[in-house]
């Protein structure tokens, strides 16, 4: 894999699962918004409102890695068009793409949200009510993939569309 793959979608759709398999298969650098934002909360900074601070940090790290020829996978909710704009430029310029993941089965999505655990110390996962309350703007031009199929098929489709499969 070369370039940048941006995975976005509501919490619990399977972004981190897809990102982990994608990075294991390709050796790409995995940048997780949740991990970066939790580290920012634990720092000495005043982080009452991170806004897009985590995304800004990810863009800088991704840009540096890409400039050195390292592939990168971004794992973030990225719900708004304004936060997506920089990725919409950076991903294609690097030979990568933007992917919107979704779970077409609401009961399964809820089950995933309610059953998941985090490996990020101190990070509080959102509950189902919080996920449902999220604002989500459609992402024009992104590859849309339903995570109801096996993760390997989702990863294969991403790599195919990125010119790697």
Question: For the purposes of burial, counting CB atoms within 10 Å of the CB of 92, is it exposed (0-12), middle (13-18) or buried (19 or more)?
Answer: middle
Q: Look at residue 138 in the predicted model and tell me its pLDDT.
A: 86
Cα–Cα distance for residue pair 120/53, rounded to 1 Å: 18
pTM of whole model > 0.75?
A: yes
Task: Output the 3-class SS for the chain.
Answer: CCCEEEEECCCCCCHHHHHHHHHHHHCCEEEEHHHHHHHHHHCCCCCCCCCCHHHHHHHHHHHHHHHCCCCEEEECCCCCHHHHHHHHHHHHHCCCEEEEEECCCHHHHHHHHHHCCCCCCCCCCCCHHHHHHCCCCCCCCCEEEECCCCHHHHHHHHHHHCCCC
Q: Look at residue 50 in the predicted model and tell me its pLDDT.
A: 59
Domain that holds residue 20: 4-161
Q: How confident is the model at residue 39 (pLDDT cuts 50, 70, 90)?
A: confident
Tell me which of 6-10, 40-44, 89-93, 97-101 is least confident.
40-44
- Kindly report the average pLDDT of the chain as a whole number: 89
The 10s digit of each residue's pLDDT in 109-122 is: 999 999 988 887 77
Cα–Cα distance for residue pair 118/94, rounded to 1 Å: 30
Q: How many domains does the chain have?
A: 1
**The pLDDT of residue 165 is above 60:** no
Instruction: Indicate which CATH number applies to the domain containing 89.
Output: 3.40.50.300
Q: Look at residue 98 in the predicted model and tell me its pLDDT.
A: 94
Average pLDDT estimate for 48-53: 67
């Amino acid at each position: 894999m070369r370039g940048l793959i941006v995975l976005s979608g509501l919490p619990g759709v399977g972004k981190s699962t897809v990102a982990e398999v994608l990075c294991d298969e390709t050796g790409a650098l995995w940048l997780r918004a949740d991990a970066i934002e939790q580290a920012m909360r634990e720092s000495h900074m005043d982080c009452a409102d991170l806004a897009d601070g985590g995304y800004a940090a990810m863009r800088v790290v991704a840009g540096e890695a890409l400039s050195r020829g390292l592939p990168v996978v971004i794992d973030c909710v990225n719900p708004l068009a304004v936060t997506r704009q920089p990725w919409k430029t950076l991903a294609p310029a690097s030979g990568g793409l933007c992917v919107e993941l979704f779970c077409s089965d609401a009961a399964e999505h809820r089950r995933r949200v309610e059953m998941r655990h985090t490996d990020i110390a101190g990070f509080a996962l959102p509950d189902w009510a919080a996920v449902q309350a999220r604002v989500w703007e459609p992402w024009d031009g992104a590859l849309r993939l339903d995570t109801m199929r096996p993760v390997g098929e989702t990863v294969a489709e991403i790599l195919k569309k990125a010119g790697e499969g």
